[in-house]
Structure 1
Amino acid sequence: MIFNIVEDINYRDMLESQIFEVIEYLINKDEEFSITANINGVTFEPEMPESISKNFSHFTLFTLSNYTYESIILTEKTITFEAGFGSENFGSHVTIPLYAIFQIVIDESILFLNPTATVEKYFQEKELEENHTQRSMNAFTMNKKNKDLLS
């Protein structure tokens, strides 16, 4: 069954490597492109105001051109870029895990398709990890002696 493949972590990792190679290739060719990403995997720094984030669809298109393209930082696990959003052009650093990229698009044509970006369990694991980190920090700061270490 296809779910046995798409939900296999080894398959996800293989596609993540391919996404890295495709994006690296496009950058080396100086080719601007767009990506559609599962918004559940995307982080914004600073966070998007509710007035903007409420307009994002589950799979959101990001066009990487001009300054946004020039700001790309690609690692083997993520792509980060600066972009402006909304009518006020709210600036944010966008970080997307490569496995959350559903499509790579050039000139309205799909160059690459990643079905693992539709698997919700990958994004639930991220939420669980973030919750665990927050709980650990809360436990750490509850000890008065530890609070001094953070100052």
Structure 2
Amino acid sequence: MINEIIEQNSYKDLVASQINEIINFLLKNNKEFSITANLEAMEFNPELPSTIKSQLSKFSLYILSNYTYTTVKIINETILSFEAGFGSENFGSTVQVPLHSIFQIIIDDSILYLNPIATVDKFNTKPKEKSLNNFKNNPRNLKLIK
């Protein structure tokens, strides 16, 4: 029954609008925050090395504080963008997260917002061609392809 609601495009748009308003509220009030987001819907520019990306879980925590917080912006009221460093080498990348794929918004250690849409595969899965390329780019998968 809940799937009948959360799998509707109109509900996804409603949730994205709510997340947009919450993040704008936090930014206006100069409040640092964290998010967990569905990795499958995110884009990294430049793309993360496979050694780093393979260590991220499907719903990873991103702490938006200090320098990263100063780079936070919302693009077209649909995408959260920020710069962050990843891995022990602090590999720099600009991250773009569709608002509907943000699973949690966290302040301190408390969940401010929880979004079930982030778990709906049809909204958060990239086209298979990109996924296949990511699979091929992971050195751990080379022996499976050959």
* Alignment TM class, shorter chain as reference: 0.7 to 0.9
After superposition, give the CA deviation of every residue in 1:40-65 in whole Å (9 maximum; x if it has no partner).
01100000001100110010110000
Partner of 1:21: 21
Equivalent residue runs for 1:42-57 within 5 Å? 42-57=42-57
Which residue is 2:79 aligned to?
78
Residues 25-104 of structure 1 mapped to structure 2, 5 A cutoff: 25-75=25-75, 76-104=77-105
Residue 124 of structure 2: aligned partner: 123
Equivalenced residue count is 130
TM-score by length of 1: 0.82
Quick one: which amino acid aligns to residue 92 of structure 1? Answer: S
Q: Matched residues, percent identical?
A: 52
Residues 44 and 117 of structure 1: is their aligned pair in 2 closer, same or farther, counting only changes over 3 Å? same
Give 1:67's aligned amino acid.
Answer: Y
Structure 1 CA distance for aligned equivalents of residues 60 and 100 of structure 2: 14
Give the structure-2-normalised TM-score.
Answer: 0.85
1:51 is matched by which residue type in structure 2?
Answer: T
Q: Report the Cα distance in structure 1 between the residues aligned to 2:61 and 2:40, rounded to whole angstroms.
A: 13
Distance change (3 Å), C-alpha of 1:128 and 1:9: farther
Higher helix share: 1
Which of 1 and 2 has greater Rg?
1
Structure 1 distance, partners of 2:113, 2:71, is: 22
Q: How big is the alpha-carbon RMSD for the aligned residues of Structure 1 and Structure 2?
A: 1.5
CA drift at 1:123: 2.4
Distance 2:3 2:85 in 1: 36
Q: Where does structure 1 lack aligned partners over 5 or more consecutive residues? A: 132-151
Residue 108 of structure 1: how far off its partner (Å)? 1.1
Please list every run of at least 4 consecutive aligned residues from structure 1 whose deviation after the TM superposition is greater than 6 angstroms.
128-131
Alpha-carbon distance in 2 for matches of 1:59, 1:18: 20
SS at structure 1 position matched to 2:17: helix
Task: Note the C-alpha offset of 1:127.
Answer: 1.5
Cα distance change on mapping 1:25 and 1:129 into 2, 3 Å: farther
* Gap regions ≥5 residues in structure 2: 132-146
Deviation at 1:128, TM superposition (A): 6.2
User: How many angstroms apart in 2 are the aligned matches of 1:20 and 1:90?
Assistant: 27
Deviation at 1:4, TM superposition (A): 0.3
